[in-house]
Amino acid sequence: MTAASPAIPAAPAAKPSLAGSTRAELDAALAGLGVPAGARKMRTEQLWGWLYRRGATGFGDMLNLGRDLRGALGETFTLDRPQIVAEQVSADGTRKWLLRLAPTGPLDKGAEVECVYIPESDRGTLCVSSQVGCTLNCSFCHTGTQKLVRNLTSREIVAQVLVARDRLGDFPGSERPTDGLVPSGEGVRAVSNVVFMGMGEPLYNYDSVRDALSVLTDGDGLALSRRRVTVSTSGVVPAMGPLGAETGASLAVSLHATRDALRDQLVPLNRRHPIKELLDACRAYPGASNARRITFEYVMLKGVNDSIAEARELVRLLAGVPAKINLIPFNPWPGTAYECSDWETIEAFSDVVFRAGYASPVRTPRGRDILAACGQLKSETEKMRARARMMLEESLAAGQD
Ligand code: SAH
Ligand code: SF4
């Protein structure tokens, strides 16, 4: 007979974190503490500056808020970020973090997401996740085989950027790490670009992504340039216009095929929003111009979508759309039926695209050394590892403005 397990005591309710909050969320938090409406605008601006210009991780230094309010904030809230469970640094400076999000309830241990940072001499690109898992089932994508655990909140999306800026010494008064390349110099940001190419379909979590973008691009805070923030979509056509109009973010579109019959198989959302509808939405994308092109992602799948005829068709399809083309070597994962195209095939495909006037359509992979070792991360599943490889290449392939 086995002994009955003792009752599990309920976990003490953790204090919620305000890190990553929008102005409206800060206002609501202050209202909850009894700060009168007339004082809240100023208090919100003060908190905003501490959170996003200074990178504050606690309320203790916020002398301009007054002792009582500081005390009340500290009793009720934290400024905790997701925890870095593991970090890997590549010889080329690429970093990969496994982040554990705060539990959402007593039975939740805290979902994990990965975030990848790719430095270059004059910029640094952070690849963030918008969902844990994905409800779409693109046949070549490992995340697509994972059921959606949940949408990330806008706070959790912004917090990925805060974690990176903390770790990279990107807030005033902190030091750049010395264990790898991080761009430096007067006024140079460690994190200058953000791409939504991690886990999830950002436009299926539209409100959170929009709110996160409003925090990331706010000139009085994190102050990322809108054109340096890129949202990648598999083609959620109805949300594309609102994204451009409401956020001004740059757009990347996962095209991957030039015919509907093939795209229906690779990106099943194509059955609802076929190629013509998708490209019409791209032509109408607010703010798209030759100076501000839409990135088209095209994953190179051996014998599936990599013929010269398809390269020509791709160029023909995109005529008249202000476009950049990124050819992505397929990252295989355990159990996939697809293979990456041969290098010669990728070169021949890329030559056609290049001759049509698109610069550097294929990017050199970075951070291979840490990816080879990424099984050492405490990722729950193989999917996370395959995903991390994919994220890295994707991040290189876009966000290059
Ligand atoms: N859901 C969004 C954004 C996240 S996926 C989207 O689909 O656009 C980011 C990019 O990675 C997409 O272009 C996606 O098609 C690509 N991708 C997914 N799995 C991949 C793999 N195994 N190898 C290479 N690229 C992959
Ligand atoms: Fe989801 Fe994008 Fe993967 Fe498709 S490619 S399953 S939309 S994460």
Q: What is the pLDDT of residue 126?
A: 95
CATH fold, domain 18-76, is DNA polymerase; domain 1 (1.10.150)
374 is known as an active-site residue: yes
User: What is the structure's pLDDT at 227?
Assistant: 92
Q: Answer whether 310's CB lies under 8 Å from 258's CB.
A: yes
Count the Cβ atoms, other than its own, within 10 Å of residue 248.
16
For position 247, what pLDDT does the model report?
A: 96
Q: Which of 141, 230, 325 most suits a substitution to test ligand 1, by most atoms within 8 Å of the C-beta?
A: 141
Q: Do domains 18-76 and 83-386 have the same CATH topology?
A: no
Centre of ligand 2 from the C-alpha of residue 198, in Å = 9
Q: Which long-range contacts link 220-223 to residues 24+ away (Cβ below 8 Å)?
A: 220/45, 220/48, 220/49, 220/52, 220/53, 221/48, 221/49, 221/51, 221/52, 221/53, 222/52, 222/158, 222/161, 222/165, 223/52
Structure tokens at 381: 């599943």
- Total-model pTM: 0.90
- Can you give the residue ranges of every domain in the chain? 18-76, 83-386
pLDDT for position 379: 37
Active-site residue, selected from the candidate residues 114, 310, 393, 394: 114
pLDDT of res. 238 = 98
Residue to substitute in 136, 146, 297 for testing ligand 1 pocket (most ligand atoms within 8 angstroms of CB): 297
Scan for tokens 């476009």, then name that residue: 323
Task: Please say if 114 is a catalytic residue.
Answer: yes
The architecture in CATH of the region 83-386 reads: Alpha-Beta Barrel (3.20)
Task: For ligand 1, say whether the CB of 394 is within 6 Å of any of its atoms.
Answer: yes
Q: Are 327 and 351 in contact (CB under 8 A)?
A: no
Residue among 211, 214, 209 nearest 232 (CA): 209
What residue ranges in 250-313 does DSSP mark as E strands?
Answer: 250-254, 294-300
User: Within the chain, which residues score under 70 in pLDDT?
Assistant: 1-13, 147-148, 180, 360, 363-401
**Residue 382 has what pLDDT?**
42
User: At residue 78, what are phi and psi to the nearest 5 degrees?
Assistant: -125, 180
The 10 Å Cβ neighbour count of residue 64 is 13
Express each pLDDT in 276-335 by its tens digit.
Answer: 999 999 999 998 998 899 999 999 999 999 999 999 999 999 999 999 999 988 888 888
Q: Residue 235 CB: number of other CB atoms within 10 A?
A: 26
What are the structure tokens assigned to 240, written together?
A: 């594309």
Q: What digits encode the pLDDT tens for the residues 356-383?
A: 999 867 865 666 555 433 333 333 344 4
Could you say which of 115, 127, 134, 374 is catalytic? 374
What's the 251 CA to ligand 2 centre distance in angstroms? 15
What is the whole-number distance in angstroms between the Cα of residue 95 and the centre of ligand 2?
A: 22
Q: Would you state the pLDDT for residue 108?
A: 85
Residue 52 is given by DSSP the state: I
Instruction: Name the closest-CA residue to atom 8, ligand 2.
Output: 200
Residue 257 φ then ψ, to 5°: -155, 155
